Amino acid sequence: MNYLFVVAHPDDEVLGAGGTISKLSKEGNKVDVCILCGEANARKHKPEKDKLILDMVNCCRILGVNTVYMGNFPNIQFNTIPHIELVQFIEKILKVTEAESVFTHHTADVNNDHYHTSLACQAAIRLFQRDTTKKPVKELFFMEILSSTEWSINSSLHPFQPNVFVEIKEEGLNKKIEALSQYEGVMREFPHPRSNEAIKGLAAFRGCQAGLFYAEGFEQVFRRGF
**Sequence-distant (≥ 6) Cβ neighbours of residue 199 within 8 angstroms:** 146, 173, 176, 177, 180
Predicted confidence at residue 23, as pLDDT, reads 98
Mean pLDDT for the chain overall: 94
Least confident span in 25-34, 81-90, 178-187: 178-187
As a whole number, mean pLDDT of residues 125-135 equals: 89
Q: Delineate the domains of the chain, giving CATH numbers in brackets.
A: 2-223 (3.40.50.10320)
Q: What is the pTM of this model?
A: 0.95
**Would you state the pLDDT for residue 43?**
59
Q: What is the 3-state secondary structure (H, E, C) of 55-84?
A: HHHHHHHHHCCCEEEECECCCCCHHHCCHH
Q: What is the pLDDT of residue 41?
A: 61
pLDDT digits (tens, 9 = 90+) for 39-75: 766 555 667 788 999 999 999 999 999 999 999 999 9
How high is the pLDDT of residue 193?
A: 86
Predicted confidence (pLDDT) at residue 219 exceeds the cutoff of 70: yes
**Closest by CA position to 72, among listed 36, 120, 124, 119:** 36
